Chain A
Amino acid sequence: MYIYLRKFTAMILTVLFVSVITFVSFEIIPGDPVLSRLGVDADEAQIKALTEELGLNDPLPVRFMKWAAGVFTGNLGESSRYSRPVIQLISERIPVTVSLALISMALIVVFGIPLGILSAKYGDRLPGISISVISQLGMAIPSFWTGIILMFVFGLILKWVSPGGYTSWDVNPAEAFKSLLLPSIAIALPSIATVTRYTRNSIMEQMKKDYVRLAYSKGLKTNSVLFGHVLRNALIPVITVLGMITANILGGSIVIEQVFTLPGVGRLLINAISTRDMPLAQGMILYISLVIVLVNFVIDIIYTLIDPRIKLK
């Protein structure tokens, strides 16, 4: 139990740290938030009233507390551009981004791990070498370029999907999936390559261990040794990379939503930044980072459940 408590405390500390950073960063923005809202020719009384309303006269820690309370009650203020609550804007965009993330994650697990196993098994032979060459390429190609090319080939030349179109899940699930598949592939590709390489190295590392020799000395076939003994041991470290992958997926989706003009969280964020809609940008950056911290926490817990060596400590 102790270990969970420790991990939980660490997670809370990280959440606190991320919140403070996000808050303070946006506090030091050059420019007066009141003036930027009212325009330069606002009169004295207006400025005073809005300053009061926004609570800008309070000392910094008090403002942080108020803001932090808002974060957890879902009250992040109003977007200066859309004049609507930030939380509302974000929640409208969540389905697209979450769908992208889930499809990408599925692609990464379904392709990354088996390719890693294949590449470890046929290390020096043709399949192994070609997988490792392709995974090198996969890590080097920028995902937004993959996106552009995919859209050009499948949208403009083959016309399998309508470029730039998005159908929501509740309108037509099949169409929705179709419109999300290409962007998900673009997001997933670099991570598939990473997971492939990681799985491969982890398996190769395990294959050198003594227990593998013991398994062989029992008279097991290579496949039985690989799938019965090595794989589970090798996949434990791979699970920890999935945390990093989550960050990659969300980062990738910010860019890819732009490429495919999908109405997701990422696109909203880019809009917020381009139009200097600070409350919106601040809220979104915080929420995205909290999601990542939480996912990492969950992965950490899963990790301790899978590995019997950690349970007892």
Chain B
Amino acid sequence: MKKKRISLRIGVIIISSIMAMMLISFFYTPYSVTEMNKRERFSPPNSSHLLGTDNFGRDILSRLMKGSQTAFFVGGVAVSIGLIFGIAIGATAGYFGGVLDEFIMRIMDSMMAFPGILFALMFVSIFGVGIKNTIIAIGIMSIPSFARITRSGYMQHKEFEYVKNARVKGISTFRIIFAHILPNVMSPIIVAASMGFSSAVLSEAALSYLGLGVQPPDPSWGRMLNESQVYISMAPWYAIAPGIMITLIVLGFNFLGDGIRDMQDKGK
């Protein structure tokens, strides 16, 4: 039990610190994010630039802070897309069952077998690169896992007495699905959402690293890693900081998910 609490605590601490950093970045960053300074190119971490500067002499800390906005924005919107469609699809398949279920789950399974990055690449190659399409692609990618979890919850709960009672009372199917069953199957979905956030951030970083995700001047940690790689022998610090940020945020959401799940298990 002690160890489990630790998961939740670590998760909350990491995520809330990065969130605080993001909120601060709306009002204040040590330097301008876009301002270039030729004289201060590649200065290693020092008292005026805590994390050093990049190839344009921009302050890395400031760019990291702004980058957290992108990470949360992409993660948040993508997970919401996944949640909305995943729950709708999973609930339909699980509640109605039969051929419809078979058909939907076949499609979801094929989507799941697909490497996410491949799908995202296909998506941006068709609709073009940019933050909007990145988010949509990542969102679509995350639908199957939410659908799967929702479905199994509904398959279980539709057999329960309270659902049968509701049906006898003549409550509309729509209401039964969303007002009666949904709150009861939410707990694993919340855990999946937290984990989904991690994979969304990872996918965004990978796409942006490939130059097919977030485009300049929007700051993105993945993109920063891409730029840093060219200059790694001159400025290794540039490649360290964004990587740590990505790792931290992913770790944070994974721990958070684990922690929430353990809390739910304990409640039972």
Contacts and interface: CB of A to CB of B under 8 A. Distances in A.
Q: Do chains A and B touch in the complex (CB under 8 A)?
A: yes
Interface of A: 10, 13-14, 17-18, 22, 25-26, 28-30, 124, 129, 136-137, 139-145, 148-149, 151-152, 156, 243-244, 247-248, 250-251, 254-255, 258-259, 269-270, 272-274, 276, 278, 281, 285, 288-289, 292-293, 296
9 contacts: A30-B127, A124-B3, A139-B250, A148-B239, A156-B233, A250-B118, A273-B121, A274-B211, A276-B125
Given A141-B247, A156-B232, A247 B113 contact: yes
Contact of A293 (B113, B126, B233): B113
Interface string B117-128: 110011011110
B254 A255 contact: no
The secondary structure that dominates the B interface is helix
Nearest to B243: A145
Contact of A254 (B114, B118, B254): B118
Contacts of A149: 239, 243
A142 B110 contact: no
Nearest to B242: A145
Contact of A140 (B3, B198, B211): B198
A255 B210 contact: yes
B209 interface: yes
The number of chain B residues touching the other chain, given as a range, is 35 or more
B225 interface: yes
Given A18-B114, A152-B232, 10 more contacts: A14-B110, A140-B251, A142-B209, A142-B250, A145-B239, A156-B233, A255-B206, A269-B121, A273-B212, A281-B122
Contact of A289 (B112, B114, B243): B114
Interface in B88-123: 106-107, 109-110, 112-118, 121-122
Contacts of A28: 126
Given A247-B115, A273-B121, A148 B232 contact: yes
B126 A25 contact: yes
Contact of B247 (A10, A142, A151, A259): A142
Interface string B228-268: 11001100100100110011101100110000000000000
Contacts of B232: 148, 151-152, 156
A29 to B, nearest CB: 5
B191 to A, nearest CB: 15
Contacts of B87: none
Contacts of B209: 142, 144, 255, 258
B151 to A, nearest CB: 18
Contacts of A273: 121, 124-125, 212
A23 to B, nearest CB: 12
B205 interface: yes
B110 to A, nearest CB: 5
B104 to A, nearest CB: 12
A292 B112 CA distance: 11
Contacts of B211: 274
A148 B229 contact: yes
B171 to A, nearest CB: 36
Chain A CB within 10 Å — which of B3, B125, B212, B239 has the most?
B125
